[in-house]
Structure 1
Amino acid sequence: MSELIIYTDGSSRGNPGPGGFGVILMYGNKRKELSQGFRLTTNNRMELLAVITALEALTKKNIPVKIFTDSQYVVNSVEKKWLDNWIRTDFKGGKKNKDLWLRYANIARHFSIKFYWVKGHANNPFNNRCDELATFAADGKDLLVDEGYESENL
């Protein structure tokens, strides 16, 4: 059985500013790309939303998933169990992105996920492609509203 590999990246033109994410899903010889842009958001939200969108796009559950991202925020929050503590304390102390982290936790329980950090803007063609998708989406027209961000910050 082939393993499922996901590459993700998020982008924000200004922080906050227009933003977007890019995703590549790879399973065997199949490959799918996803991206979306938002009118006002942050880089960390787009990094996290890329992972969430990738997982929500999967039709098979309970499978091992390898996720490659250049976001140390995402990798460390999950791999170092920071997220577990944030959930246990209801994000006490003003931890950001509660809406997205709870959405991630809800979908992630259906998979066996291992995160891998990759250096951004380096020589990884999949990460570079995700960056292209994310920045193109951020620069696009008809950007969506990041309701979680805007409802808390505007």
Structure 2
Amino acid sequence: MKISVLIIVLTLFVSCKGVSQEKEMASGQNNDNPKEFEVQKTEAEWKAELTDAEFYVLRKAATENPFTSELLDNKKKGTYVCAACGTPLFKSETKFDSGTGWPSFYQEIEGNVGYDVDYKIGYKRTEEHCATCGGHLGHVFEDGPAPTGLRHCINGVALDFVEDK
């Protein structure tokens, strides 16, 4: 009897499949082919212009520690722009507290954010980057609030904030 229960439990465990990122959100692009962006700079030029933290997140796809961004609790009205090139990426009206430790938005400014699929941690995630300079922003997940159901989980160091006047 114990063996039957163990076999059933193991079978259920093995057959479970996570689907939080099953939908392919990227448009068939992958990281195998280098992309051309409107803003092109050498690694040395990016290093000279960005802080160390900005460089490693935006250019090397690193992730900042959770709950460390100065923008996490920002409640001012304005626009979040790419820290590398100034492209407007998210409006403050779409920001919400996801509890994850990173600034989160339910909608991007259409056309200014690009998507790729990455498998860096062993499963598929939809990675976001600035459509103008290619800077790594974070990832988008399908567990956000209405109206989109999306959670754009963004490294705060990849963003600058421009307050509305």
Category of TM-score, reference length = shorter chain: under 0.3
- Bigger relative contact order (CA 8 A; separation at least 6): 1
Provide the TM-score with structure 1 as the length reference: 0.23
Query: Which protein shows a greater Rg?
Result: 2
Larger relative helix fraction: 1
TM-score of the two chains, using structure 2 as the length reference: 0.22
Normalized per residue, which structure has more strand?
A: 1
